Amino acid sequence: MQEQLFSPKDPQVLKAEKLQIASRRKKDSSLKLLFIAATSIGILALILLLATILVDGLSSLTPDLFKNYPSRRAASSGLKSALVGTIYMVLIMVPISFLIGVGAAIFMQEYAKKGWITKIIQLNISTLAGVPSIVYGILGLTIFVRGLQLDRSLLSGALTMSLLVLPVIIVSAQEAIKAVPNTRRDASLALGATKWQTVQRAVLPSALPGILTGVILAVSRAIGETAPLVMIGALTYVAFLPDNVLDQFTVMPIQIYNWISKPQTEFHDLAAAGIIVLLVMLLVLNMIAVILRNRFQKNL
């Protein structure tokens, strides 16, 4: 064999080999082009979207946009009530979904015995993460708006959104808790710590960045959602700020949708400005999530 490798080859075999290599290279480079094309289609679409929105919206992105309530005149129309509504909703939603979501994740990972019941619960949670958001709207309408008589209030909206993001938070918190090495638990238990002390002092601190990443991603999903809030009846014209959790409210995506469906083009520019504000909020949240994740990976 070795001799053959170094011996001069039959020119015809050599030619065939060269051809084979060339065709392989060709295949390789054409596939590379294909993958570049696949990547760039997504990126180009995003760039195109951003460019058109920036062109349309930048001129409307003024301080007035944040100071004004909705109005029939584009010039004096703003998203104050929508922006504040979105922020309030998130502020109520985060503690609720954080406590319930992380609690459920701790139970599933640390306390629950592995059996068919936990498997079924696990399957249910994963399935819930994929349920269309409008279904949560119907659920919220039935339970919170009608059942608990909370009406079309900020609290109903925040609770409905909590339901929507809970599966996402539970799953990501479970992953984060799972990633904590068992040695930490064992060491803690060996020192005589109880289960809760172990969870509290050994597991949660290492899992927290991962959990927070999940929470932030869930929040960014909630900020962009319209369907469930339309279902529970978040309103379009709200010219006041809610000063109590039972007040009515509106949110950014609803305001943007309302502007887009108006006949006057000035409102479409306002909608584009609203989209920029929403995008910036989402980007900031996602950036925080990425930073947290990087810290987490570095320190594990």
Partner 1 sequence: MKRVMSLITILSLTFALAACGNGNNAANNAKVTNGAQENAGNTTETAALTGTIEIDGSSTVYPITEAVAEEFGKENKDVRVTVGVSGTGGGFKRFAAGETAISNASRPIKDAEAELAKTNGVEYIELEVAYDGLSVLVNPENDWVDHLTTAELHEIFKPGSTVMKWSDVRSEWPAEDIKIFSPGADSGTFDYFTETINDEAQASRNDAMVTFSEDDNTLVQGVEGEKYALGYFGFAYYEENKDKLKLVPIDGGTGPISPSAETINDGTYAPLSRPLYIYVNKAFMDKPEVKAFVDYFLSNAAELSEEVGYIRLPQEKYDEGAAKLQ
Q: Would you state the structure tokens that stand for residue 33, as one six-digit string?
A: 């082009």
Q: Is 80 in the site for partner 1 (CB under 8 A)?
A: no
Q: Please list, in sequence order, all residues whose beta carbon lies within 8 angstroms of the beta carbon of residue 283, skipping any fewer than 6 positions away.
A: none
Under 8 Å between Cβ of 124 and 278: no
Choices 21-29, 50-58, 160-168, 292-300; region in contact with partner 1 by CB under 8 A: 292-300
Q: Is 149 in the site for partner 1 (CB under 8 A)?
A: no
Minimum gap (Å) between residue 226 Cβ and partner 1: 12
DSSP string, 147-179: IS---S-HHHHHHHHHHHHHHHHHHHHHHHHHT
Give the x/- contact pattern for partner 1 in 224-253, rule: CB under 8 A: ---------x-xxxxxx-xxxxx-x-----
- Report CA dihedral (282, 284, 286, 291) to the nearest 10 degrees: 180
Q: Is 295 in the site for partner 1 (CB under 8 A)?
A: yes
Q: Is 293 in the site for partner 1 (CB under 8 A)?
A: no
Under 8 Å between Cβ of 236 and 255: yes
CA–CA separation, 130 vs 152, rounded Å? 25
How many residues bind partner 1, per CB under 8 A?
37
Other residues' Cβ atoms within 10 Å of the Cβ of residue 246 = 12
Q: Is 183 in the site for partner 1 (CB under 8 A)?
A: no
Q: Is 100 in the site for partner 1 (CB under 8 A)?
A: no
- CB closer to partner 1, 171 vs 212: 212
Q: Which residue ranges make up the site for partner 1 (CB under 8 A)?
A: 70-72, 88, 91-92, 94-95, 98, 205, 208-209, 212, 233, 235-240, 242-246, 248, 258, 260-265, 268, 292, 295, 299
